[in-house]
A and B are shown apart, each in its own frame.
Chain A
């Protein structure tokens, strides 16, 4: 790695406009294309601070700063366009979290990298609407929060309550949400409002290790821990009346349910297995990368194809998982209000994945190209009229769900034509960590955090007390900064702001 002083490093960075910086070729060795990242003034400070810290002599942390990681991704074989950092970018394993990169499928050198997807394959967000209003829910908020907590298994070591055997699992891996539909856990309309219609067709359970399946089976239908949550939210602001209307959101005060979860131990094991395979493959195919963590293989190699097939199976697992929790949430609401989920109008508004790699068609220099698009901590945001978005959103653009953190707001954005040109139809995914977990625990006090949440009128049910500090809003980048940057840069439009009133966490 090149060692330069902070001031020398800055020579490779250029501010293009108020929201976007260019990373010039040469910042890291072998860059095939330029990099860029989207930040506003507040986020820019965090980004450069991270780089400055890494330039201090004697720094040997685990991860490179995000901006270096974006540049290392720009050095991967077959990359097209730019390696892009979204406003919530922070350093992660191999790829930064909040990094997207596209590779030309027809270039035999192009690679696929499990580090470009992340350990939690198809981690994503689902939003359900209801026809309830804040005033209907407030008197029973505590009971409702408890009811959700009683229905959804959360936290370390929790097990799913939907009966499944190994054969069911294999079918679910292949069928994704179609499995949930067949078994009657979800509604036909749910599938329609789900990225990829809740099923990746190239999934092949035969490419998945026994180990992953064993880890996955007991965890199907569990929320998980860490930053995953189920929240009862209230519409706080509507920026785009017509787009909101298309989503069935009429007025401020309407109650929604947001579920943020992924493929659990199944996806983690698929990713771990693939990384071990790719380490070997890299030696065999002589693939050079700047960072050992960027383990990868050619898209068309056996390892590459196996990963894409098993990743698709993990993606299907995640959709079944979120569908199972949709079912459990509907049950919880139905019991509390003594009404059927149908009468509560508990429709899925949309379901996005923010850790995934997909084959997509894009225009590169005016020519159509088939690309393998890696989105890690980045959400697809397709514009109005795109054939891959549901018919109900053809005029508004794809809904993009941005989950906040415990106690902060969440947002619904919509995809734009400009985002299609700038970022291959990608935008941010959430807040992104700013403080380390240990620092959060040291700096924040358990009862303080709880009191603050209580002051904001947020009920909380959490399995692990230390998570309360680790996941406190202070530990994260400000999600409003992140979303405003995406809006100002034109890569997605603000549509709805949601405010939590009850949180269920691992």
Chain B
């Protein structure tokens, strides 16, 4: 992982929370741009699976996701991240950097660099397993005037 040496590995500040829900959990993330809110939402999901302070950045993987609208883009973005964790490379991330964020035209697209390491029992405490991302009560709030961007996603656990 030579290329990691040249990268900025400072972790982003925490801009997410977990909201109450009967059988599942709702992720609420925000930021100064929609891109940041998406990144924060991804981190929020990883934060539910383990304690992120135990994660060291040792690897970087790039994922791509696309959708026909903002909701489906967010859905597929999170689904890709969940997939990254669920099988090889079993990556648990504490830093996400979206390098391409295209929300115009026919197909919306995200390219994201995911920083973290392989999930290792013993090193990383086991949190809750995320079964799936859902569209239920998904909200994307865009208020450029207030510089306020928020997303709400329910994940099935």
Residue in B20, B92, B132, B133 whose CB lies within 8 Å of A438: B20
Q: Is B50's CB under 8 angstroms from A156's CB?
A: yes
Q: Is A61's CB under 8 angstroms from B137's CB?
A: yes
In the bound complex, residues from chain B placing their C-beta under 8 Å from that of A271 are 132
In the bound complex, residues from chain B placing their C-beta under 8 Å from that of A92 are 23
Decide: A436 near B132, CB < 8 A? Known: A62-B154, A156-B50, A265-B86: no
Contact with B along A78-112 (1 / 0, CB 8 A): 00000000000011110001000000000000000
Q: Is B127's CB under 8 angstroms from A437's CB?
A: no
Q: Can you spell out 13 A-B residue pairs with CB atoms less than 8 angstroms apart?
A: A90-B22, A91-B22, A156-B128, A157-B49, A214-B86, A218-B88, A293-B136, A437-B23, A439-B20, A463-B126, A464-B127, A467-B128, A506-B126
A318 CB → nearest B CB, Å: 13
In the bound complex, residues from chain B placing their C-beta under 8 Å from that of A226 are 128-129, 131, 157
B9 contacts partner chain A, Cβ-Cβ < 8 Å: no
B22, B23, B79, B131 — most chain A CB neighbours (10 Å)? B22
Q: Is A438's CB under 8 angstroms from B23's CB?
A: no
Q: Is A63's CB under 8 angstroms from B22's CB?
A: yes
* Size of the chain B interface, CB-CB below 8 angstroms: 37
In Å, the complex CA distance between A59 and B136 comes to 15
B70 CB → nearest A CB, Å: 15
Q: Is A62's CB under 8 angstroms from B135's CB?
A: no
6 more CB-based (< 8 A) A-B contacts, given A92-B23, A438-B18? A62-B136, A62-B137, A156-B126, A218-B86, A226-B131, A464-B125
User: For residue A97, which residue of chain B has the nearest CB?
Assistant: B23
Q: Is A225's CB under 8 angstroms from B134's CB?
A: no
Residue in B88, B132, B134, B136 whose CB lies within 8 Å of A214: B88
B143 CB → nearest A CB, Å: 18
* Size of the chain A interface, CB-CB below 8 angstroms: 44
In the bound complex, residues from chain B placing their C-beta under 8 Å from that of A90 are 22-23
In Å, the complex CA distance between A225 and B48 comes to 13
In the bound complex, residues from chain A placing their C-beta under 8 Å from that of B133 are 272
B156 contacts partner chain A, Cβ-Cβ < 8 Å: yes
Report A380-407 residues with CB < 8 Å from chain B CB: none
Report B115-157 residues with CB < 8 Å from chain A CB: 119, 121, 124-129, 131-137, 154, 156-157
Nearest 6 CB-CB pairings of A with B: A62-B137, A225-B129, A155-B126, A463-B126, A157-B119, A438-B20
In the bound complex, residues from chain A placing their C-beta under 8 Å from that of B108 are none
In the bound complex, residues from chain B placing their C-beta under 8 Å from that of A265 are 86-87, 131
In the bound complex, residues from chain A placing their C-beta under 8 Å from that of B132 are 119, 268-269, 271-272
Residue in B18, B21, B124 whose CB lies within 8 Å of A157: B124
A93 CB → nearest B CB, Å: 6
Q: Is B157's CB under 8 angstroms from A438's CB?
A: no
Q: Is B126's CB under 8 angstroms from A225's CB?
A: yes
In Å, the complex CA distance between A433 and B106 comes to 41
Q: Is A466's CB under 8 angstroms from B137's CB?
A: no
Q: Is B129's CB under 8 angstroms from A155's CB?
A: yes
B73 CB → nearest A CB, Å: 13
B83 contacts partner chain A, Cβ-Cβ < 8 Å: yes
B40 contacts partner chain A, Cβ-Cβ < 8 Å: no
Residue in A60, A211, A225, A438 whose CB lies within 8 Å of B83: A211
A474 contacts partner chain B, Cβ-Cβ < 8 Å: no
Residue in B24, B25, B87, B135 whose CB lies within 8 Å of A215: B87
In the bound complex, residues from chain B placing their C-beta under 8 Å from that of A156 are 49-50, 119, 126-129
In Å, the complex CA distance between A12 and B124 comes to 51
B57 CB → nearest A CB, Å: 18
Q: Is B128's CB under 8 angstroms from A93's CB?
A: no
A120 contacts partner chain B, Cβ-Cβ < 8 Å: yes
In the bound complex, residues from chain B placing their C-beta under 8 Å from that of A146 are none
Contact with B along A36-75 (1 / 0, CB 8 A): 0000000000000000000000001111000000000000
In the bound complex, residues from chain B placing their C-beta under 8 Å from that of A268 are 131-132, 156
Decide: A93 near B156, CB < 8 A? Known: A120-B131, A439-B20, A464-B128: yes
Report A452-491 residues with CB < 8 Å from chain B CB: 463-467, 470
In Å, the complex CA distance between A80 and B11 comes to 55
Contact with B along A197-227 (1 / 0, CB 8 A): 0000000000000010011011100001110
A162 CB → nearest B CB, Å: 16
Q: Is B137's CB under 8 angstroms from A63's CB?
A: yes
B101 contacts partner chain A, Cβ-Cβ < 8 Å: no
In Å, the complex CA distance between A28 and B125 comes to 45
User: For residue B154, which residue of chain A has the nearest CB?
Assistant: A62
B26 contacts partner chain A, Cβ-Cβ < 8 Å: yes
Residue in A61, A119, A214, A466 whose CB lies within 8 Å of B128: A466
B12 contacts partner chain A, Cβ-Cβ < 8 Å: no
In the bound complex, residues from chain A placing their C-beta under 8 Å from that of B86 are 214-215, 218-219, 265
